[in-house]
C-alpha cells in the first residue's frame, strides 16, 4: 500500500502540474508533491526498519534496506530541489529564459522523473527496472533542452543518443539474464524477479551471466557516467536548468549505480568469482583519474561540478567493485553524502551564475561579499566534496581507502592521486570565485537558503557522528550485497 502511495503521489502531482501549468502556486504544488513523497518514503523506511525487507504487489515490488535508503534520499533531495527551484525558476522565468509552456513542462516532467526513479528503485523486476531507467532518461531529455539555446539542444541530443545507446546495451544484458533464468523458472515474469534470481544465483549459468554483466556495465555504466561513456554528462549538466543538474547528479547517477550493483550481486552469485568486481574497479578508477584531470581544464562552473560527479561516481563504483564489508559500507555512505553535497553545490553554483548572468568561472567573483550565504555555501560544499574532514565525504572516502589499503595496496597511489588532483583542481577554481574581486555586473538574487543549509548540515552531521539508525541501515544493506 505504502509503495502505491509513494508512486501514486508523484504521478498525481505530475498530472495536476501538467494542468496547473504556469499559473500561480505551481511551484508550491511541486514542493507539496515532493514533500508528500518524502513523507510517504519515510513511512516506508520505518516499516522496513521495523519489519525488515518485504515483497509486495505479487512479487512486483521489493523493499529492502538497500533500496529504501535510496528512496528516502531520492524523495528528500527532490523535495529540497523543488524548494530551491521555486525561486530559481521564477528568476529564469522573469528573465525570459523559459516560456510558460516550458514551466508547465518543467514541473510536470520533474515529477515524472522522480516517479521513474522511485519505480526503478522499488521494482523487483529487472525488466521493469530497465523500463524505469529509460523513462527517467526520456523525462529529463527535454528538460535539458528547456532553454532552447543551441548548446542546450546539442547537449540534450547527446544525452539522448548516448544514454539511448547505453541503455539498449543494458536491455541486451537483461535479455541474457532472462535467458539464463528461464531454464530454472520457465516462462513468465518470475524469471526476472530479483529476489527469485538472487535466491538461485549459484545455479545460473556463469558464462551467460558474465557476458550479461558486461552489457549491464556498459549500459548502466553510461548512465552512471563512467569513463569512457561519460561524454553526455558534463554537457547535460551544464546546459540544463540547475535544479535538473542537481537531481541528475544527486539522484539519477545513484539510481543507475544501484541498478548496476543489483546486477553485480546476481553475477557474483553465479560466477563465484570477483570478475564483476574487477570490471567495476577498472571503470571506477578510470573515471576517478580521467575526471579529476579533466577538472583542471574546466571553465564552466556547472561543467566543473559535473566532472566532479563523474569522479565521485567513479569512487563509489570502485568501492562496490572492491567489495568486502568496509568498502561496500563506504560505497553506500558515499552515494548518500555525495548526493547531498553535490546537489547543494549545484544550488549555490546556480545562484552564483544567476548573480553574474554567466556560467563562466572567470566572470564570477567575490561571492562572499555579494552574498555571504552563497559564498560560504559554495566554499563549504567544495570543502565537503573534496573530502576534507569533518564532512561526511571524508568519512566515506576514508572507509574506502582503508579497505583499499587492506585489499589492494598497489592501487592505492592511483586512487590517492585522483583524489588529490581533484582537490587541487576544485580549489584552484573555487577560491577566486568565492574570495576574489567582485565583477561590476554582480547583482543580488533572491536565494533559497534552506536547501543548501539543510544539505550541508546533514553532511556535516554524518561526518561528525553517524547515527545509529543509519549505520544499522547500512549494515542491513551490507547483508544483501555481500553473501
Residues forming the site for another protein (CB under 8 A): 125, 127-128, 130-131, 134-135, 138, 141-142, 145, 148-151, 153-158, 160-161, 164-165, 168-169, 171-172, 174-176, 178-179, 182, 187-189, 191-192, 205, 207-208, 211, 235, 238-239, 294, 297-300, 303
- CB-nearer residue toward another protein: 83 or 212: 212
Burial letters for 234-255: b for 16+ Cβ neighbours within 10 Å, e otherwise? Answer: bbbbbbbbbbbbbbbbbbbbbb
Q: For the residues of 412-473, what is the DSSP string, one character each? A: HHHHHHHHHHHHHHHHHHHHHHHHSPPPTT-------HHHHHHHHHHHHHHHH---HHHHHH
> Which residue has 520505518 as its cell numbers?
46
Q: Residue with C-alpha cell 549538466?
A: 237
Residues 444, 372: Cα–Cα separation, whole Å: 11
The smaller minimum CB distance to another protein, of residues 237 and 455, is found at: 237
Q: Rounded to whole angstroms, how far apart are CA atoms 193 and 178?
A: 10
Residue number with CB closer to another protein (176 or 378): 176
C-alpha to C-alpha distance for 269 and 302, rounded to whole angstroms: 40
Q: Could you give the CA distance from residue 242 to residue 222 in angstroms, rounded to a whole number?
A: 21
Nearest distance from C-beta of residue 158 to another protein, angstroms:
7
Q: Looking at beta carbons only, is 82 or 279 nearer to another protein?
A: 279
CB of 311 to another protein, least distance (A): 16
Rounded Cα gap, residues 331 and 337, in angstroms = 10
Nearest approach in angstroms of CB 208 to another protein is 6
CB of 165 to another protein, least distance (A): 6
Query: Toward another protein, which CB reaches closer, 218 or 340?
Result: 218
Distance CA 423, CA 385 (A): 9
Closer residue to another protein in complex, CB, 86/158: 158
**What is the DSSP code string of 116-151?**
HHHHHHHB-BHHHHHHHHHHHHHHHHHHHTTT--HH
DSSP annotation of 391 reads S
The least distance separating another protein from the CB of residue 54, rounded to whole angstroms, comes to 21
Given the complex with another protein, which of 112 and 340 has the nearer CB atom?
Answer: 112
Nearer to another protein among residue 33 and residue 234 (C-beta): 234
Instruction: Quote the least distance from Cβ 108 to another protein, whole Å.
Output: 14
CA neighbours closer than 13 Å in the CB half-sphere of residue 305? 35
Residue among 165 and 454 whose Cβ is closer to another protein: 165
Q: What is the smallest separation between the CB atom of 178 and another protein, expressed in angstroms? A: 5
Q: Which helix (H) or strand (E) holds 107?
A: helix 100-122
> Considering beta carbons, is residue 83 or 129 the nearer one to another protein?
129
Q: Give the residue from 300, 144, 286 showing the smallest Cα distance to 226.
A: 286
Look-up of cell digits 548573480: 355
Q: In angstroms, what is the minimal distance from the CB of 273 to another protein?
A: 16
Q: How far is the CB of 148 from another protein (least distance, A)?
A: 6
Secondary element (H or E) of residue 40: helix 26-51
Q: How far is the CB of 483 from another protein (least distance, A)?
A: 24
Tell me whether residue 38 or residue 160 sits nearer to another protein (CB atom): 160
Please name the helix (run of DSSP H) or strand (run of DSSP E) that holds residue 480, with its range, or none. Answer: helix 468-481
Q: How far is the CB of 116 from another protein (least distance, A)?
A: 11
* Cell numbers found for residue 209: 551471466
Provide CB contacts within 8 A for 337, sequence distance 6+: 384, 391, 392, 393, 395, 396, 459, 462, 463
CB atoms within 10 A of CB 462: 22
Amino acid at each position: 500500500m505504502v509503495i502505491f502511495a509513494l508512486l501514486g503521489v508523484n504521478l498525481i502531482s505530475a498530472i495536476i502540474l501538467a494542468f496547473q501549468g504556469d499559473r500561480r502556486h505551481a511551484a508550491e504544488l511541486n514542493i507539496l508533491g515532493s514533500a508528500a513523497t518524502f513523507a510517504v518514503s519515510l513511512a516506508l523506511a520505518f516499516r522496513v526498519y521495523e519489519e525488515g525487507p518485504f515483497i509486495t504487489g505479487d512479487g512486483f515490488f521489493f523493499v529492502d534496506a538497500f533500496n529504501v535508503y535510496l528512496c528516502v534520499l531520492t524523495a528528500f533531495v527532490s523535495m529540497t530541489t523543488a524548494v530551491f527551484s521555486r525561486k530559481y525558476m521564477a528568476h529564469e522565468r522573469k528573465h525570459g529564459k523559459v516560456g510558460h509552456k516550458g514551466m508547465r513542462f518543467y514541473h510536470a516532467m520533474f515529477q515524472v522523473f522522480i516517479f521513474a526513479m522511485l519505480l526503478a528503485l522499488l521494482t523487483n523486476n529487472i525488466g521493469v527496472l530497465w523500463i524505469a531507467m529509460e523513462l527517467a532518461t526520456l523525462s529529463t531529455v527535454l528538460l535539458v533542452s528547456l532553454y532552447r539555446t543551441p548548446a542546450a539542444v546539442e547537449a540534450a541530443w547527446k544525452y539522448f543518443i548516448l544514454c539511448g545507446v547505453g541503455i539498449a546495451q543494458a536491455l541486451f544484458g537483461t535479455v541474457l539474464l532472462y535467458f539464463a533464468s528461464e531454464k530454472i523458472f520457465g516462462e513468465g515474469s518470475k524469471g526476472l524477479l530479483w529476489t527469485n534470481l538472487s535466491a538461485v544465483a549459484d545455479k545460473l549459468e556463469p558464462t551467460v551471466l558474465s557476458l550479461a554483466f558486461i552489457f549491464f556495465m556498459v549500459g548502466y555504466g553510461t548512465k552512471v557516467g563512467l569513463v569512457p561513456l561519460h561524454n553526455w554528462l558534463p554537457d547535460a549538466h551544464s546546459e540544463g536548468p540547475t535544479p535538473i543538474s542537481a537531481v541528475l547528479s544527486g539522484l539519477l547517477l545513484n539510481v543507475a549505480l544501484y541498478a548496476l550493483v543489483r546486477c553485480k550481486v546476481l553475477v557474483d552469485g553465479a560466477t563465484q568469482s570477483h570478475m564483476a568486481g574487477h570490471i567495476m574497479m577498472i571503470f571506477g578508477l578510470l573515471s576517478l583519474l580521467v575526471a579529476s584531470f579533466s577538472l583542471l581544464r574546466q571553465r564552466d562552473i556547472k561543467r566543473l561540478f559535473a566532472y566532479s560527479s563523474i569522479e565521485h561516481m567513479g569512487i563509489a563504483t570502485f568501492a562496490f567493485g572492491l567489495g568486502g564489508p568496509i568498502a561496500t559500507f563506504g560505497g553506500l555512505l558515499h552515494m548518500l553524502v555525495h548526493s547531498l553535497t553535490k546537489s547543494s553545490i549545484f544550488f549555490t553554483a546556480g545562484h552564483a551564475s544567476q548573480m553574474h548572468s554567466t556560467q563562466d568561472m572567470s566572470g564570477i567573483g567575490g561571492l562572499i561579499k555579494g552574498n555571504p550565504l552563497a559564498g560560504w555555501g559554495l566554499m563549504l560544499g567544495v570543502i565537503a566534496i573534496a573530502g576534507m574532514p569533518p564532512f561526511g565525504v571524508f568519512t566515506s572516502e576514508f572507509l574506502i581507502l582503508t579497505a583499499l589499503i587492506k585489499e589492494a595496496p598497489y592501487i592505492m597511489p592511483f586512487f590517492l592521486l585522483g583524489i588529490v588532483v581533484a582537490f587541487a583542481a576544485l580549489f584552484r577554481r573555487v577560491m577566486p570565485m568565492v574570495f576574489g574581486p567582485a565583477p561590476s555586473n554582480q547583482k543580488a538574487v533572491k536565494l533559497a537558503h534552506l536547501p543548501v543549509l539543510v544539505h550541508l548540515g546533514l553532511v556535516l552531521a554524518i561526518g561528525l557522528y553517524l547515527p545509529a539508525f543509519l549505520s544499522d541501515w547500512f549494515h542491513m544493506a551490507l547483508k544483501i550485497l555481500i553473501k
